[in-house]
Amino acid sequence: MQKVITLSMGNGGLENRELLKKFVFRHLGNSFLKDAEDGTVLGEIENLVFTTDSFTINPIFFKGGDIGKLSVAGACNDLAMMGSEPKFLSLSFIIEEGFSLRDFERILRSMKKELSVNGAVVVTGDTKVVPKGACDKIYINVSAIGNRLANFSQKNIKEGDKVLLSGDIARHGATIFASREGIELENEIESDCRSLWPIVKALIDEKIFVKALRDATRGGVAAVLNEWAKDENLCFEIEEAKVNISLEVKGICEILGFEPFVLANEGTFVCVVDRKDEKRTLEILKSFNENASIIGEVTKEYMGRVILKTEWKTRRFLDMPSGEILPRIC
Amino acid sequence: MQKVITLSMGNGGLENRELLKKFVFRHLGNSFLKDAEDGTVLGEIENLVFTTDSFTINPIFFKGGDIGKLSVAGACNDLAMMGSEPKFLSLSFIIEEGFSLRDFERILRSMKKELSVNGAVVVTGDTKVVPKGACDKIYINVSAIGNRLANFSQKNIKEGDKVLLSGDIARHGATIFASREGIELENEIESDCRSLWPIVKALIDEKIFVKALRDATRGGVAAVLNEWAKDENLCFEIEEAKVNISLEVKGICEILGFEPFVLANEGTFVCVVDRKDEKRTLEILKSFNENASIIGEVTKEYMGRVILKTEWKTRRFLDMPSGEILPRIC
């Protein structure tokens, strides 16, 4: 077999079957994939949650992860944010002719590892190979089916609730930026790319009444808080000093003139709980990441808006991000 | 709003929400999409079947369909081929910056129409916008969940069974080819792009014991028959004269030196039934498409192979397609 992906490997014929057998099934194989025909029979699922995500990130390998880890973690995180245990994933590749099979294998290995963190399996898939110039290296769609164990919903948020972050922010966005711009730092930063189901499971197991949970991906923490504020007609008041941001990320934001609140995260969530649960929630979050913190609370001061209380005791609105922030971050 | 898709429309922020609201939700909206957060809660599904397909077809608009119709029909057809009623679809776009919003809307309208043919709804989605040159216009992933009503499986095929086609073959492949090469024909050909669930439902309602069913997409009829022959260690004997191929398709195949058996179809299936069911099956198929026919039978003459009996009474093997046939056919 050649060392790069060829157009014939996406032809639905002989070479296509070989690619699946020698690469995809070898790394990700299981009894569902073995028996799959045009689709896969999964039988009965009780509290089904369904989500989809396409990943077009550039570069495909970055500090802290790669497109394989990101795609499995990203889709599973969407389920986790709904209180759902990730179970069954579909996997669809669009690959540029000439893509290295070694890199393809490296991506599959990452996926396998991340699947095991989530306890999920790939049960059906698709592979398209397009001519050079019709995509940039490799794009991956993961659609995922989960089993809902807890009913988190932003509709439960009310005045007086507390807002927490599961870690320091903006690492994914800053890492991708630094890598693309060739910025060299004394202390390298790493993406926060991570599967969040283990943390969510701990919250459920500890019977924390989580009201709303959202991983702060594209649009960052600013997008999550603004969406909740607008959708539920509430005000979020956030203390800037309580939001952890690493020195390296701060440095990159200064160089580039970016607000860390709008930069993407890929393994950090915002969480709203009742005031009485804030301490226990923080303890659980800190057992996974010591940078977790309580960052603010829900009020009714400016309905539909997010207020940032700065370190100098001034107050300003944190708006919904707009414009072109950073394409191909995920 | 601008008349083309901009990078900011994929930013997870304001413009992203506008694009969804003004276009996607307006055409495809339903109560599931309305309540979707990171994913969508679907509740209990009994006999769940799951499938995924990415569409990268070029050109995106062609005689008989477009990438929108194709992506909904294609994913739903995968379910139909498993005896499953299409129910819930996820929809993930990768769009090139500068893509026309009018074309985007045309695609959404096609999708809506095709969804209604299947009785399916889009319940969750994702949109990525990539810079110019990072994809060719628009790629669409559809993952789909169905409810299995009948247990078709190639494992049921046995010696003596009859093989049928639901229509004439190779129309999709020939149409895309003619369009890309700018071949002008006296009588224009049209892709067979079509949702197959209504036909499958009729077979199930009429209590036909369908053994195996497969839409002959990439790799064509040759790929389907060879896969079954190899997987189940049986021989398929096909009479070439019984396979309907339009004169226009024959013409294009002659110009290009192609075998119609390896060209893609997007709304035509191969079907295996018990000998006693062949006539009733043919009647049902003909009520949808008069070009349906009984094309051969299952034997044990050359295990794992497909034999083509030509119109001149000679016999030859029809092999699994290999090599680069026609990239971006779907």
Say if CB A126 and CB B52 are below 8 A apart: yes
Taking the C-alpha atoms of residue B171 and residue B178, their distance in angstroms, rounded to an integer, is 10
**Chain A (53-92) residues lying within 8 Å, Cβ to Cβ, of chain B:** 53-56, 58, 77-79, 81-82, 84, 88, 90-92
B90 contact residues in A (CB cutoff 8 A): 50-52, 143
Taking the C-alpha atoms of residue A101 and residue A138, their distance in angstroms, rounded to an integer, is 11
Q: Is the peptide bond before A327 cis (omega within 30 degrees of 0)?
A: no
Residue A258: per-residue pLDDT: 87
Q: What distances in angstroms separate CA A285 from CA A161, A201, A229, one per listed residue?
A: 17, 11, 23
Q: Which of B1, B11, B137, B230 to mutate to test the interface with A (most CBs of A within 10 A)?
A: B11
Q: Where are the domains of chain A?
A: 7-148, 154-317
Q: What is the mean pLDDT of residues A198-220?
A: 96
**Of the partner residues B43, B52, B133, the one whose CB lies closest to the CB of residue A90:** B52
The full DSSP string for B234-245 is -EEEEEGGGS--
Indicate yes or no: CB of A52 within 8 angstroms of CB of B90. Answer: yes
Query: Given pLDDT bands bounded at 50, 70 and 90, which one contains residue A216?
Result: very high
**Of the partner residues A143, A320, A325, the one whose CB lies closest to the CB of residue B52:** A143
Residue of A nearest to B218 (CA): A12
Residue A101: per-residue pLDDT: 97
Q: What is the mean pLDDT of residues A147-165?
A: 95
Taking the C-alpha atoms of residue B40 and residue A50, their distance in angstroms, rounded to an integer, is 5
Taking the C-alpha atoms of residue A297 and residue A270, their distance in angstroms, rounded to an integer, is 12
Q: What distances in angstroms separate CA B281 from CA A122, B92, B274, one per listed residue?
A: 35, 36, 10
Q: Which two tokens stand for residue B179?
A: 């369009």
Beta pairing partners, B130: B96
Say if CB B303 and CB B235 are below 8 A apart: yes
Looking at the predicted structure, is the pLDDT value of residue A194 above 60? yes
Looking at the predicted structure, is the pLDDT value of residue A3 above 90? yes
**Of the partner residues B41, B81, B136, the one whose CB lies closest to the CB of residue A49:** B41
Q: Which of B308, B321, B318, B294 is nearest to B238 (CA)?
A: B308
Looking at the predicted structure, is the pLDDT value of residue A2 above 70? no
A128 Cβ under 8 Å from any chain B Cβ? yes
Taking the C-alpha atoms of residue A239 and residue A318, their distance in angstroms, rounded to an integer, is 11
- List the A210-215 sheet strands across, edge first: A210-215, A269-273, A162-165, A293-299, A235-239, A306-309, A315-317
Indicate yes or no: CB of B324 within 8 angstroms of CB of A7. Answer: yes
Q: What is the mean pLDDT of residues A271-292?
A: 98
B128 contact residues in A (CB cutoff 8 A): 54-56, 328, 330
Residue A74: per-residue pLDDT: 98
Taking the C-alpha atoms of residue B10 and residue B130, their distance in angstroms, rounded to an integer, is 8
Indicate yes or no: CB of A327 within 8 angstroms of CB of B129. Answer: yes
Q: Would you state the torsion angle of the CA atoms of residues A233, A236, A237, A243, taken in this order, to the nearest 10 degrees? A: -170
Residue A153: per-residue pLDDT: 85
Q: Which of B126, B127, B50, B54 is nearest to A90 (CA)?
A: B50
Taking the C-alpha atoms of residue A278 and residue B185, their distance in angstroms, rounded to an integer, is 72
Structure pTM?
0.95
Residue B312: per-residue pLDDT: 87
The full DSSP string for B122-159 is EEEEEEEEE-TTSBSSEEEEEEEEEEE-S---GGG--T
Indicate yes or no: CB of B45 within 8 angstroms of CB of A47. Answer: no
Residue type, B108: L
- List the B293-299 sheet strands across, edge first: B210-215, B269-273, B162-165, B293-299, B235-239, B306-309, B315-317
Angle at A229 between CA A226 and CA A231, to 5 degrees: 100
For residue A101, what is the DSSP state? H
Taking the C-alpha atoms of residue B53 and residue B71, their distance in angstroms, rounded to an integer, is 8
Is the domain covering B7-148 a CATH 3.30.1330.10 domain?
Answer: yes
Q: Which two tokens stand for residue B139?
A: 């790629």
Averaged pLDDT of chain A: 94
How many C-beta atoms surround the C-beta of residue A239 within 10 A?
17
Q: What is the mean pLDDT of residues A166-186?
A: 90
Indicate yes or no: CB of A12 within 8 angstroms of CB of B79. Answer: no
Give chain B's residues under pLDDT 70: 1-2
Residue B165: per-residue pLDDT: 98
Under 8 Å CB pairs connecting chains A and B tally to 277
Beta pairing partners, B86: B146
Taking the C-alpha atoms of residue A232 and residue A218, their distance in angstroms, rounded to an integer, is 20
Which helix (DSSP H) or strand (DSSP E) does residue A295 occupy? strand A293-299
Say if CB A111 and CB A195 are below 8 A apart: no
Q: Does A154-317 match A7-148 at the fold level?
A: no
Angle at B61 between CA B57 and CA B62, to 5 degrees: 90
Q: Which two tokens stand for residue A213?
A: 């949970």
B46 contact residues in A (CB cutoff 8 A): 43-44
Calculate how close chain B gets to A324, using CA atoms only, in Å: 4
**Of the partner residues A48, A214, A322, the one whose CB lies closest to the CB of residue B43:** A48
Strands B61-62 and B162-165: unpaired
Q: Which two tokens stand for residue A29?
A: 């194989």
Taking the C-alpha atoms of residue B70 and residue A313, their distance in angstroms, rounded to an integer, is 56
Which helix (DSSP H) or strand (DSSP E) does residue A147 occupy? strand A138-148
**B154-317 fold:** Phosphoribosyl-aminoimidazole Synthetase; Chain A, domain 2 (3.90.650)
pLDDT tens string A57-91: 999 999 999 999 999 999 999 999 999 999 999 99
B55 contact residues in A (CB cutoff 8 A): 128
